[in-house]
Structure 1
Amino acid sequence: MKELNSLSHEFYGDDMKNGGKKGFQKLKHLELKNMSNLGEWCGSLEGEFPCLEKFMIKDCPKIRKLPPVLPTVKELEIKHCDALTSLPRLPSIQDLILVNCDERILNCVQHCSSLTSLLISEFQNAINLPQAMFRSLASTLRRLEIENFSKLLTLEDVGLQELVYVQDLTLSGCNSLTSFPKGLHKLISLERLSISCCDQLVSFPLVDDGVKPLAIKSLKIHLCENFRSLPRGLHYLSSLQELAIDDCENITFLPDEGLPTSLRRLTITRCPDLNIRCQKGGEDWPKIAHIPDVNIRRW
């Protein structure tokens, strides 16, 4: 509906029957998409979406704000809404996706204190994230994905180290990021870590002052062209079962200490020097001979 420019009380109905109830009393899933002129959503009062659980708004570049109260929404997805700078109150929110919006909307994330899953992506002008952005999510967040922040310089002071219950962490497309924040070892519940397309990242420590993350089971490093070495302390990860290294041609050897004895699957793809060293009879073969499933690929 590319000519529609506002949603107001007509959208909810004016029927006073059935005790004066109006709106969408049973609706659970609502999507608004490709409304290029929609700029105003007004007239929304509490009670018009009493059962709404999932809401998605996409490609509505002029929308300035959402209804003030969405008390039952658990899943919210907002993509390509350039004029939207804030979120309404979301007391039940669990899953939040924000893609290519005004970066000021990121300031609202810390108020979503019931979040279990968060994906933020394509904030191309953001140099940093709001200070203490994740601190209020420390007791709830289980999954975090930060993708395509091409100008992001640092992850310091955002409270990343306080996410002690996060199990999945993905960092992708952050081409200006040169280092990981200290204290990664504090993520004591972290099971899966994926780092990809971070061109300036050279390496990162998994161990700090002898303390190590105990739960990590899967580590994937993909298309990080300046990576020089695998993370320090890798051999201490006694729960690590899967390690994948793809398109990291500057990683040329495995750590002298070797890899964890717990490792069950190793995949190395398009890492020319490392590929040669890890073949049977190669210099690094003794470090990986104990792994049941080894895949060395040139392409």
Structure 2
Amino acid sequence: MRGNDWKTGRSWIQQEIITPDTLERCKKRCTIIDEIKLDDGFRHLLLRRLPSGMHSLELFPRLKILRISKCSNLEFICEHDLEDLTSLHSLKIWECPKLVSFPKGGLPASCLTELQLFDCADLKSLPEHMNSLLPSLEDLRLFLLPKLEVFPEGGLPSKLKSLYIENCSKLIAARMQWSLQSLPSLSKFTVGVDENVESFPEEMLLPSTLASLEIWSLKTLKSLNYSGLQHLTSLEQLTITDCHNLQSMPGEGLPSSLSSIEIWRCPLLDQRCQQGRGEDWLMCRLTFCRRY
């Protein structure tokens, strides 16, 4: 570690993993750390539990993997427009409750393949212009983002293969605006942890390219929507977990491409199967792999 301006607290950090221990010497000489700049030789960086005075993070072009977690006062990744982050492949941000937004104008990371955001209570939006600035993005995971309402204007990148949405109540409520039909590569979709969905999926909500659909912990889900499933002609795997109010499955209309249906901890549906009631029972006998 070396510093160039100890009085202001601005410093160059030359270690790949930055934690309270690695910052100890710096903290003894700085009253506050309000900004971190990274040497352009960095490739992998983990930032965890940084000091309370750090509000922004400057990124440099050669970074490939960036992890940010438990930075309780981090508000911005960068407070001004970024240069191209052509080497960045993976970005994960965990438990940064005051993170408000990404850089104005978007995140210019043309090689980014993985973006994961978890438990950022104040985050209201994803990076702007994702469809054009993140053309290589394949895996997007969104967890516990209560203020996130919509995807950015222009939609998600067309190469996206896997989308995971969990405990994002406003985003799930606005699901008819997702425009997932415009994603020709999307093959895996997971949605979970919501208390306001009674029927899923709506007609034309999901693209026909899906091979795997996982639904879990939708507390008020009562039924699967026939019209939303029948056009999923590539669907092979359907998994439903912890949907305690799910009462029935479609008697017809499930895609013929399905090779596995797994039901985990859905007591009402399991009861119908065990009692041999109507079309649900026939489906249980023919296709269900019920597990607990």
Q: TM-score range by the shorter chain?
A: 0.7 to 0.9
Tell me the TM-score normalised to structure 1 length.
0.75
Q: CA separation of 1:10/1:131 partners in 2, compared to 1, >3 Å: closer, same or farther?
A: closer
Matched, 1:8 2:26: no
Partner Cα separation in structure 1 for residue 214 and residue 198 of structure 2: 15
Partner Cα separation in structure 1 for residue 231 and residue 89 of structure 2: 33
Partner Cα separation in structure 1 for residue 195 and residue 133 of structure 2: 28
User: Which of residues 3, 10, 19 is equivalent to 1:33?
Assistant: 19
Alignment partner, residue 187 of structure 2: 191
Q: CA separation of 1:131/1:260 partners in 2, compared to 1, >3 Å: closer, same or farther?
A: same
Displacement of 1:175 in angstroms is 3.8
Q: CA separation of 1:111/1:73 partners in 2, compared to 1, >3 Å: closer, same or farther?
A: same
Matched, 1:171 2:165: yes
Tell me the TM-score normalised to structure 2 length.
0.77
Cα deviation code 1:185-242 (max 9, x no counterpart): 222211111111122233444643xx96232111111111022322442132122111
- Equivalences, count: 267
Shifted more, 193-202 versus 108-117: the winner is 108-117
Alignment partner, residue 56 of structure 1: 46
Cα deviation code 1:238-269 (max 9, x no counterpart): 22111111111222111243322211221112
The answer for unaligned runs of 5 or more in structure 2 is 7-11
Alignment partner, residue 262 of structure 2: 267
Alignment partner, residue 228 of structure 2: 233
User: Would you say the 8 A contact 1:196–1:221 is kept in 2?
Assistant: yes
Partner Cα separation in structure 2 for residue 175 and residue 189 of structure 1: 25
- Aligned CA RMSD, in angstroms, stands at 3.3
User: Which of residues 80, 99, 103 is equivalent to 2:99?
Assistant: 103
Partner Cα separation in structure 2 for residue 280 and residue 164 of structure 1: 45
Q: CA separation of 1:41/1:184 partners in 2, compared to 1, >3 Å: closer, same or farther?
A: closer
User: Would you say the 8 A contact 1:40–1:65 is kept in 2?
Assistant: yes
Identity %: 25
